[in-house]
């Protein structure tokens, strides 16, 4: 048993840390305020091969294991959570399901493009179906060699940056239970009938855009259906299992940045004649922050390691995501509190960490859904 | 990175699991009720090699690693928390300091029978006025010829009722405070060693918590453990290691409580359906299991770091801090899942709840763990 990264993993993560701290972190505030991702940063990420992190080398990717991948997401999140979600969505819920469920032809057609940095996005949520994803209303009606897709997807991360959408739509309205009637499709951005709707104004994670994606008589070739008809829900759930590791790692990264800031601030801020770190209460808070952060990191790496071993990891990924996201919200809250009034000011990054952390309890399955996944697996055993 | 257990680790875990299920679960309630230490089971633990797990075979131990120790402690404590702490004290607080600091003669004479479980040990540090502030102890050891003469009263000595060998911390140079403390090996049959009152405790009631009095007790200089003046360091190192054991004990107690809550949720029906069908109960179970998983992984992490020669001080403090809170919260939730039955002794979870609380107190309170962690975080 050995819970440390090996030399090769450490080297890769170190490179990504230098990139994240050197290139991304200095612009994180600007990205948050202007709600955009500078194209030159995306270009650098492409050069580093980040968009092909887990894509097999045969398809142009780096073929990294999930442990390394999670550590990279953590490092990027430490610098900018918005860029991290761009990468995490692309890798975990676009490239990954394509690698696993795609036909050889589909893999050859799409994976090299994704590896080269064409961005992938995931379209599941709709105005009327969030956690209850199986009730989605977007339809895909077979018509010759195509499907005709109609509906509206919401909360699509990287919606305007993406070239390829993994989209869930109902192919069999009569199927019961409902989730048996859903299929997955790979939809090109350029497909006629696909348009972008409103761009959401968000509390945090503002660098990456969150879009409405509208489908009006959008013809998608049957060759772009991922997996068999009726397996879309399963593909979505498997994607989210993998995505939860990414979001867990993201939550850990945001919290790590917040803890670093809190310690640095508590060392220099003097009140009552002493630096804040001198006070028991502040020390106790820092200790709890570090402890919960460490626990979350081990949980995320454990889930990642299980995935790499090819074993079942659904429960562990749900636990890691649940724990890490709640930890991150709590740790960023405490970091802000330690900063006092300054923590509320944009001049210090902790208010951004606090805003960024919050969504990790919501997307890729709310905490409530994680509890449900965990409880069901416990009660079944 | 490799989370997989080795063959040996898996074997130790299975052995401990079977022993807990067959030998400890059936007697734990009685141990709690009667406050009688389960000496027959402790003897069997010795035969399994669980009382000197970390001691090399040449000194009577099993020569296993800390991960094995954690896995065994979790299972034994799941079966019976009193038995868990008896095992923890002998391994972590008695055998470990002897393994690390005893000379060869002491190892042959003192460590071998302790590691084999032929004798049992206890750790005498805490005093009436020296709890978390352990450096402030008042027990004195005065050199006299080839001996030291020990005088003072130690409190809250776990295993005090049956221990044969005590590791005693006393001040040899009071003006030097913590740096004037020396560790001694004191056998129970030395004149001047007396058992005082037995404490009535909330939980771990079978472990026998005693006051131990040293009344002009003569101890030969050959029984000094390590150098004179090094006692405080020896105590702290023992506790650093002991925290891993207590964290594992806490995880074991939490697992026991959770197991009962899960079973109850599956079988107890209200409103015509098992209560496990209700979201309020499901979410509670999910949170309990998640917290246990986090605590277990933190504990394993500390053990791995200790096994691989890494800096495990922060890790073991984090593990103990988190796991002890987990034990308290999970056992509390387990009572809640049981409803009124949870308050009734027959259903066991109230015992887990009482047993859990001590893990936040002994071998360093949670407040002291936070202090240890914070100092190291701040130092960077």
Report the residue of chain B nearest A66, measured CA to CA.
B1
CA distance B318 to B299: 8
Question: Smallest CA–CA separation between B214 and chain A, in Å?
Answer: 35
Is the CB of residue B162 less than 8 Å from the CB of residue B120?
Answer: yes
Cβ neighbourhood burial of A175 (10 Å; 0-12, 13-18, 19+): middle
Interface of A with B in 216-235 (CB under 8 A): none
Q: Are A371 and B286 an interchain contact pair (Cβ–Cβ within 8 Å)?
A: yes
Q: Do B282 and A371 touch (CB under 8 A)?
A: yes
Question: To probe the interface with B, which of A6, A65, A287, A309 has the most B CB atoms within 10 Å?
Answer: A287
How does pLDDT run across B180-204, given as a tens digit for each residue? 999 999 999 999 999 999 999 999 9
Judge: B290–A280 Cβ closer than 8 Å, yes or no: no
Locate the chain A residue with the closest alpha carbon to B378: A263
Q: So what's the pLDDT on residue B380?
A: 80
Domains of chain A are: 7-119 (1.10.540.10), 121-230 (2.40.110.10), 234-380 (1.20.140.10)
Question: Which residues 70-129 of A have a C-beta within 8 angstroms of B?
Answer: none
Mean pLDDT by 10 residues, chain B (380 residues): 96 98 98 97 98 98 98 98 98 98 98 98 95 92 98 97 98 95 98 97 96 98 97 95 96 98 97 96 98 98 96 96 98 97 95 98 96 94
pLDDT digits (tens, 9 = 90+) for A289-330: 999 999 999 999 999 999 999 999 999 999 999 999 999 999
Specify the CATH number of the domain B122-229.
2.40.110.10
pLDDT at A310: 96
**What's the average model confidence in pLDDT over A148-158?**
97
Chain B closest CA to A287's CA: distance in Å?
A: 5
Chain A: closest CA distance from residue B151 (Å):
34
Judge whether A306 is closer than 8 Å to chain B, CB to CB: yes
pLDDT digits (tens, 9 = 90+) for A22-47: 999 999 999 999 999 999 999 999 99
Looking at chain B, the domain(s) classified CATH 1.20.140.10 span 233-379
Positions of CATH 1.10.540.10 in chain B: 7-120
Do residue A379 and residue B262 have CB atoms under 8 angstroms apart?
yes
Q: Which residue of A has its CA nearest to B10?
A: A1
Contact B301 A372 (CB under 8 A): no
With contact defined as beta carbons under 8 Å apart, do B243 and B315 qualify? no
- Closest residue, chain B, to A323 (C-alpha): B290
Average pLDDT over residues A122-131: 96
pLDDT of residue B351: 98
Token digits of residue B105: 């003669």
Q: Is the minimum CB–CB distance between A277 and chain B shorter than 8 Å? A: yes
A278 has a chain B CB within 8 A of its CB: no
Q: What is the dihedral of CA A80, A81, A82, A84, to 10 degrees?
A: 100
Helix or strand holding residue B165 (H, E): strand B165-171
- The CA radius of gyration of chain A, in Å to the nearest whole number, is 21
Per-residue pLDDT at B134: 85
Backbone angles phi, psi at A289, to 5 degrees: -60, -50
Size of interface A-B (CB pairs under 8 A): 137
8-state DSSP, A201: P
pLDDT tens digits, one per residue of B219-274: 999 999 999 999 999 999 999 989 999 999 999 999 999 999 999 999 999 999 99
> May I ask the CATH architecture of the domain B233-379?
Up-down Bundle (1.20)
Chosen for mutation from B290, B307, B313, B334 (greatest number of chain A CBs closer than 10 Å) is: B290
The dihedral sign for the CA sequence B290, B293, B295, B301: negative
Q: Tell me if A378 and B279 make a contact (CB, 8 A cut-off).
A: no
CATH 2.40.110.10 domain span(s) along chain B = 122-229
Helix locations, chain A, DSSP H: 7-19, 28-34, 39-47, 66-79, 81-90, 96-101, 104-116, 232-268, 280-309, 314-338, 350-358, 367-380
Residue A301: closest CA among chain B residues belongs to which residue? Answer: B1
Let me know if B75 is a catalytic residue.
no
Q: How far is B5 from chain A (nearest CA, A)?
A: 6
Name the pTM for this structure: 0.95
Q: Contact, B164 vs B188, CB < 8 A?
A: yes
In angstroms, the separation between the Cα of residue B282 and the nearest Cα of chain A is 5
For residue A302, the chain B residues in CB contact (below 8 A) are: 3, 297
Residue A375 has its nearest CB partner, among B285, B297, B380, at B285
User: Superfamily assignment of B7-120 in CATH?
Assistant: Acyl-CoA dehydrogenase/oxidase, N-terminal domain (1.10.540.10)
CB A300 within 8 A of CB A327: no
- Cα distances (angstroms) measured from residue A279 to each of A273, A275, A284, A290, B165: 11, 8, 9, 17, 40
A4 interfaces chain B, CB cutoff of 8 Å? yes
B289–A283: do the CB atoms touch at under 8 Å? no
**Rounded mean pLDDT of chain A?**
97
DSSP 8-state code for residue B344: S
Closest C-alpha to B151, from B120, B174, B135: B174
Q: What per-residue confidence (pLDDT) applies to B135?
A: 87
**Closest Cβ–Cβ partner in B282, B372, B378 for A263:** B378
Which of A287, A302, A309 minimises the CB distance to B377?
A287
Residue from B378, B379, B380 whose CB has the most chain A CBs within 10 Å, to mutate: B378
Identify the band that residue A381 occupies on the pLDDT scale cut at 50, 70 and 90. confident
Residues of chain A with C-beta less than 8 angstroms from the C-beta of B266:
379
Which chain B residues are within 8 Å of A322, Cβ to Cβ?
286, 290
Chain B residue whose CA is closest to A9:
B1
* Contact yes or no for B322 and A67 at CB 8 A: no
**Structure tokens of B6?**
């080795």
Element holding B96 (H helix, E strand):
helix B96-101
Q: Which A residues in the span 11-40 are in contact with B, Cβ-Cβ below 8 Å?
A: none
CB nearest to B1's CB, from A3, A378, A379? A3
- Give how far B325 is from chain A: nearest CA, Å: 11
Residue A214 in contact with partner chain B when CB distance is under 8 A: no
Q: Retrieve residue A222's tokens.
A: 């049957």
From chain A, the residues in CB contact with B276 under 8 A are 375, 379
Any idea which residues of A carry the catalytic annotation? 364
**Contact at CB, A277 and B287, closer than 8 angstroms:** no
Cross-chain CB nearest to B290 (options A259, A291, A322): A322
């Amino acid at each position: 048993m050995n819970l440390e990264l090996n030399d090769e993993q450490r080297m890769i993560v170190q490179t990504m840390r230098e990139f994240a701290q050197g290139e991304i972190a200095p612009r994180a505030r600007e990205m948050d305020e202007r709600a955009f991702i500078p194209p030159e940063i995306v270009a650098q990420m492409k050069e580093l091969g980040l968009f092909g992190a887990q894509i097999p080398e045969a398809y142009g990717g780096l073929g990294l294991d999930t442990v390394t991948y999670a550590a990279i997401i953590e490092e990027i999140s430490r610098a900018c959570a918005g860029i991290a979600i761009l990468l995490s969505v692309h890798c975990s819920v676009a490239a990954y399901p394509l690698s696993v469920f795609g036909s050889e032809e589909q893999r050859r057609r799409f994976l090299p493009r994704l590896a080269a940095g064409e961005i992938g996005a995931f379209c599941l949520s709709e105005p009327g179906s969030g956690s209850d994803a199986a009730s989605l209303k977007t339809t895909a009606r077979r018509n010759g060699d195509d499907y005709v897709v109609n509906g509206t997807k919401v909360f699509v991360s990287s919606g305007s940056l993406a070239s390829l959408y993994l989209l869930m739509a109902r192919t069999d309205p009569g199927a019961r239970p409902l989730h048996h009637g859903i299929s997955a499709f790979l939809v090109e951005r350029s497909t006629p009938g696909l348009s972008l709707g409103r761009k959401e104004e968000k509390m945090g994670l503002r660098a990456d855009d969150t879009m409405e994606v509208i489908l009006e008589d959008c013809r998608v070739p049957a060759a772009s259906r991922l997996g068999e008809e009726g397996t879309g829900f399963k593909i979505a759930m498997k994607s989210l299992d993998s995505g939860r590791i990414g979001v867990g790692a993201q939550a850990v990264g945001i919290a790590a940045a917040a803890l670093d800031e809190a310690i640095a601030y508590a060392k220099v801020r003097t009140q009552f004649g002493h630096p804040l770190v001198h006070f028991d209460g502040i020390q106790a808070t820092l200790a709890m922050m570090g402890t919960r952060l460490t626990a979350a990191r081990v949980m995320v790496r454990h889930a990642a390691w299980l995935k790499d071993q090819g074993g079942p990891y659904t429960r562990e990924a749900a636990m890691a995501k649940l724990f890490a996201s709640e930890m991150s919200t709590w740790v960023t809250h405490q970091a802000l509190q330690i900063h006092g009034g300054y923590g509320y000011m944009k001049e210090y990054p902790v208010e951004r960490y606090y805003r960024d952390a919050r969504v990790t309890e919501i997307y890729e399955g709310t905490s409530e859904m994680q509890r449900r996944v965990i409880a069901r697996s416990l009660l079944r055993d | 990175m490799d989370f997989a257990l080795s063959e040996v680790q898996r074997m130790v875990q299975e052995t401990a699991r079977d022993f807990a299920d067959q030998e400890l679960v059936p007697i734990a309630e009685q141990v709690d009720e009667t406050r009688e230490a389960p000496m027959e089971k402790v003897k069997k633990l010795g035969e399994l090699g669980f009382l000197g797990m970390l001691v090399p075979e040449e000194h009577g131990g099993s020569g296993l690693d800390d991960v094995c120790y954690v896995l065994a402690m979790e299972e034994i404590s799941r079966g019976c928390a009193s038995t868990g702490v008896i095992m923890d004290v002998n391994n972590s607080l008695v055998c470990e300091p002897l393994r690390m600091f005893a000379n060869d003669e002491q190892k042959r004479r003192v460590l071998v029978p302790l590691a084999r479980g032929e004798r049992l040990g206890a750790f005498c540090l805490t005093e009436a006025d020296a709890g978390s502030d352990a450096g402030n102890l008042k027990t004195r050891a005065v050199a006299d010829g080839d001996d030291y003469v020990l005088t003072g009263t130690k409190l809250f000595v776990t295993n005090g009722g049956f221990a044969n060998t005590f590791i005693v911390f006393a001040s040899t140079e009071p003006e030097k405070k913590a740096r004037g403390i020396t560790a001694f090996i004191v056998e129970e049959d030395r004149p001047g060693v007396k058992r005082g009152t037995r404490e009535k405790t909330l939980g771990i009631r079978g472990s026998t918590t005693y006051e131990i009095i040293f009344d002009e007790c003569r101890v030969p200089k050959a029984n000094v453990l390590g150098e004179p003046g090094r006692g405080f360091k020896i105590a702290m190192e023992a506790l650093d290691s002991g925290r891993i054991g207590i964290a594992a004990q806490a995880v074991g107690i939490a697992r026991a409580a959770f197991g009962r809550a899960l079973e109850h949720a599956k079988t107890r029906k209200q409103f015509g359906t098992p209560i496990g069908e209700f979201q309020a109960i499901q979410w509670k179970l999910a949170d309990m299991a998640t917290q246990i998983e986090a605590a277990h992984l933190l504990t394993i992490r500390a053990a791995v770091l200790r096994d691989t020669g890494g800096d495990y001080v922060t890790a073991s403090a984090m593990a103990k801090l988190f796991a002890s809170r987990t034990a308290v919260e999970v056992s509390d939730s387990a009572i809640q899942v049981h409803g009124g039955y949870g308050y009734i002794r027959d259903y066991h979870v109230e015992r887990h709840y009482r047993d859990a609380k001590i893990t936040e107190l002994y071998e360093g309170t949670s407040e002291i763990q936070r202090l240890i962690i914070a100092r190291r975080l701040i130092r960077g």
